[in-house]
Chains A and B, each alone.
Chain A
């Protein structure tokens, strides 16, 4: 049976998710931030983390975006194969971004051309990723991505001989080079495997998973813990002013790759790692 979903329903959902994601962090991130504020041993860092927690309440109470960089709207759709969209899906998503960013008093941060610039004025287009999945449901996730952290992301085609040690070195080098720029405490999405293009998408997908849910494979769950500990040994600390809490979480996603390759990508995200989902 084919199930029909009007494009207007997608537009409405995207608009609401844009506003929600920008005002309220997901529970796993809030929890991690509060826990870090309790456990941070360095006094100035502890103070900084408390201010960040306070900012979350201020945003909620005053209906303000948590951060003024309300991001480029990354939209992920898991589209059931038995769904028929009545209308143009990509246009419906852009229309949702347009409405959400206007209604929510969110900042319009998109330029029409990477070199010639020029603000599009409505935060469109979205960065849309569609995955076909079995079933007749449509799952929408909106991830408004700020560029203070996006700019610090990096990708490298390692050699197979570099192995897990090479991955560890690249992740730490990326975080060290980012320093205070991506508004630590950060969250890292790490992609390993695939191809040049797929590994970047893996890293972004890794940021969609709650940071309190480890990788299902114990090998990678252990690597996530180990990388988090190593990053928090660098001393960068909240805002780069020094301290233990440089990162709140490290998520890894992997896929098979070529015999000759070991692609790795690190998508850096700040403490305002936003995501909101709905199923239609």
Chain B
């Protein structure tokens, strides 16, 4: 910190330094609105549309290759006779994942984002237009494989499920806290590989998740062997039936993080003039 090279000027105080001489023609306006307002408004519309059809929407997030599509295949095989399932797939390119889902006999719409690293509420709205909503109970949205950006965008879904495969580091929640804090449920996947990996400790993964003040359920499972799937399927069944009751009472559900953020920080939009 010195006055020689300017390192004492920070993002927080720079505006004081460069404050313009009091110009009569400059007006300051306090806004205090969420930067994601535009996305969030579309997300609310999407959620209302899903609720009108009694659909529970689950957003799956993880790094690429942690087994999101394999989990969906295993889930659809076991639940498609109980619920009408559909999937929205997000990838930068190709229809490959949507084709894998369609091979299971359920509708899938593929969003190819080009270079965008996440889905947002507008892309989701577009995808919803391609699905017959009156024939769906449970909608999975498989987000772009990425542990950074998808966490910031409400799509209009109800629950965030975050996957951590045992071939990744068990400290991922500590490295990517924004993503893992957003989880309503955390799944440790590919547990059939655990005997071959001496450096992944499910207990440590859980400790890192709890350090994010997250009390969400953590299930360990393998889509390939089927081990642990029963707990996940039971969770899904409970969520679908609870959501049906919820929408009958004209209530809805926001993913935990968005809900908390709104509760603690929402301030009435305020626009006022103030002489500078």
Q: Are A and B part of the same complex? A: no
Interface residues of A (CB under 8 A from B): none
